[in-house]
Amino acid sequence: MTQAGKADPPANAASGTSTAMVPLGVGVAVLAISSAAPVIRLAAPLGPEVIACLRVSVSALVLALITHRATARALRLLASSRRDALWTILAGLCLAAHFGAWIASLSLTTVVRSVALVSTTPLFAGLFARALGDRAPLRLYVGTAVAIAGTLIMVEPGAASSEQAWLGDLLALSGAVTAALYLAIGRKVHAQLGDALPVEGYFVCVNMVAAVALWIFALTRGAELAPLGVTQTDYLAVLWLGLAPGIVGHGLLNWAVRRVPVHVVSLAALLEPAGAGLLAWGVLAEVPAAREILGAVLLIVGVSVGAWRRS
């Protein structure tokens, strides 16, 4: 007992220091992921399909280099199980659909509307879990109702609304749905394989599948990799998307959930629409309408209330 007591203070001190760094880490993560939407706009000479496939490719390749051992273990494990390999491929296709739809939405609707709508992913994830038999608390349905009210206010027909904007809103919502499916499938695969499947390796595998799918989609649509007017800055913007939001942002969020409850980090991540809106205002001079601000606030409140988690 005495020896254990002597060993405890350093461990506790290290744990306390690590936990104390969580607010800073989460803050940097939110700033990184909030930059995604405005930076996508800055890379506008490149088509949405090209931005999506380059963004995912950068994240996949860099992560594969950083976590090559975990990636190799994940590939070996998935290769030995055809069922889990097929589920992983499906998850990758859902991730590709998420990025493809959401990035395309940013060329059709405002940053605030697009980011707020795609942030409804937790609600769809909770509803999917309920459909699969998991228990869901009353707050899931209350939060969903509030989020729907916020959405209706935000996309109410007006001077800034058009058929094109509505299409962008629908694409953003479909991005939320496909992201929720991607998460649900990931949960299923990890439940089946347990700790034997490295999280980092699985993430790389899914991103690789998404990158291949997006490249096939872009090339079959005849997307131009070097369209007229594109500059080196546009490619640097895509590189930023793959490194900052894709690796730094989500990497820090994953680091944080190992030190504080998941729902705390999830609620902090809901600050992304506010961050993206402020950056769009400052960098792109895109001033959101009053109803868009009100609707986005209600939508995020609904998501935070309804964010489903086990007790």
The model's pLDDT over 160-214, given as tens digits with 9 standing for 90+, comes to 456 788 899 999 999 999 998 998 888 888 888 888 888 889 989 999 999 999 9
- Mean pLDDT, to the nearest integer, of 87-94? 95
Nearest to 278 by CA among 87, 22, 64, 37: 37
Q: What is the C-alpha to C-alpha distance for residues 300 and 288, in angstroms, rounded to an integer?
A: 16
Does an H or E element contain 141, and which?
Answer: helix 138-154
Which two tokens mark 285? 């001079």
Contact 286, 106 (CB under 8 A): no
Q: What is the C-alpha to C-alpha distance for residues 7 and 287, in angstroms, rounded to an integer?
A: 55
Which two tokens mark 47? 């088509």
Q: What is the C-alpha to C-alpha distance for residues 172 and 166, in angstroms, rounded to an integer?
A: 10
Answer yes or no: is pLDDT of 32 > 80.
yes
- End-to-end Cα, the chain, rounded Å: 33
Answer yes or no: is pLDDT of 286 > 70.
yes
What b/e sequence results for 118-148 when a residue is b if at least 16 CB atoms lie within 10 Å of its CB, and e otherwise? bbbbbbbbbbbbeeeeeeeeeebbebbebbe
C-alpha to C-alpha distances, 167 to 170, 173, 174, 302, nearest whole angstrom: 5, 10, 10, 23
Global pTM?
0.83
Q: What is the C-alpha to C-alpha distance for residues 31 and 275, in angstroms, rounded to an integer?
A: 7
Phi first, then psi: give them for residue 296, nearest 5 degrees. -65, -40
Q: What is the C-alpha to C-alpha distance for residues 129 and 134, in angstroms, rounded to an integer?
A: 5
Q: What is the C-alpha to C-alpha distance for residues 254 and 241, in angstroms, rounded to an integer?
A: 18
* Confidence at residue 263, expressed as pLDDT on a 0 to 100 scale: 61
Q: DSSP secondary-structure letter at 194?
A: G
Of residues 22 and 74, more confidence is placed in 74
Measured in residues, the chain has a length of 311
Which two tokens mark 281? 């205002």
Answer yes or no: is pLDDT of 260 > 80.
no
For residue 293, which amino acid is it?
A: I
Q: What is the C-alpha to C-alpha distance for residues 43 and 258, in angstroms, rounded to an integer?
A: 34
Nearest to 304 by CA among 139, 134, 87, 95: 139
- Mean pLDDT, to the nearest integer, of 214-225? 92
**Predicted confidence band of residue 307 (pLDDT cuts 50, 70, 90):** low
The model's pLDDT over 91-127, given as tens digits with 9 standing for 90+, comes to 999 999 999 999 999 999 889 889 988 988 877 877 7
Q: What is the C-alpha to C-alpha distance for residues 64 and 237, in angstroms, rounded to an integer?
A: 21
